[in-house]
Amino acid sequence: MIDFVLATGNRNKVAEYSELLSPLADKVRILSLKDVGVTGDVVEDGDTFEENSVIKSSVPAALGYIGVADDSGLTVDALDGAPGIYSARYAGENVTYRDNNEKLLRELEGVKDRGAKFVCVISITIPDGTLEVPEELVDRPLSAFASKRCGRSVRVIAVRGECPGVITEELRGREGFGYDPLFLYEPSGVTFAEMSHEEKNAVSHRGAAARAFLEIIKKLHL
């Protein structure tokens, strides 16, 4: 059994990942930051989803643990990709999902092109000596970035999942979190907030990234 420390403060993500990573349950134990004694917020000051994901997965890695994190967000075509990496704090610091949704609706008032996509980058940051990693899986620039942040030599593997959709004109549904009530998944004709966990995971950015991540984990000798 090997420990992965999931570096997130978002309880919804913990629930989604427990489900998504359940096929690994006999090999991998998922721990939280709290389980390894880390408290407090991580400052996400990267320029890309990839960098922010690695900034988070580097927190347990700096302590010698294998860190896993995701950075995710919504990019809206008519807003030049906003809110993007600022999705969690679109309407300001310490805002609610409702505040962010209301701001998005205001920004898109009268806008016809409502195309958008959800993006999720999962990164795993592996301190040297904890797990053997095939070289072809390693992202070199992100590994250098992470090693600097961790103050020790680490290797990073990163995967990206995306899901295209359309921003609705009003909130629809009560499931999920964040921008889900405004994100229409056109093939189903419903928003992510009108889907069950399973339905959302089957098509979502996080589901796509998690499946790619699982494939990669299978290539590691756990």
Q: Which residues form the catalytic set?
A: 71
* CB burial readout 139-178, b (16+ within 10 A) else e: beebbebbbebbebebbbbbbbbebebbbbeebbbeebeb
Binding-site size, ligand ITT (CB under 6 A): 22
Task: Check residue 10 for interaction with ligand ITT (CB under 6 A).
Answer: yes
Residue nearest ligand ITT by beta-carbon distance: 178
Q: By C-beta, is 122 or 133 nearer to ligand ITT?
A: 122
- For the chain, the maximum distance between any two Cα atoms, rounded to a whole number of angstroms, is 55
Q: By C-beta, is 133 or 210 nearer to ligand ITT?
A: 210
Task: Check residue 8 for interaction with ligand ITT (CB under 6 A).
Answer: yes
CB of 177 to ligand ITT, least distance (A): 5
Task: Check residue 207 for interaction with ligand ITT (CB under 6 A).
Answer: no
Helix (H) or strand (E) holding 88: none
- Please, are residues 54 and 145 in contact by the beta-carbon 8 Å criterion? yes
- Selected binder of ligand ITT within 54, 178, 194, 209 (CB under 6 A): 178
Task: Check residue 194 for interaction with ligand ITT (CB under 6 A).
Answer: no
Token pair for 133 = 């990693």
To the nearest 10 degrees (0 to 180), the angle between helices 49-62 and 140-150 is: 50
Site for ligand ITT in 60-119 (CB under 6 A): 71-74, 87-88, 100, 118
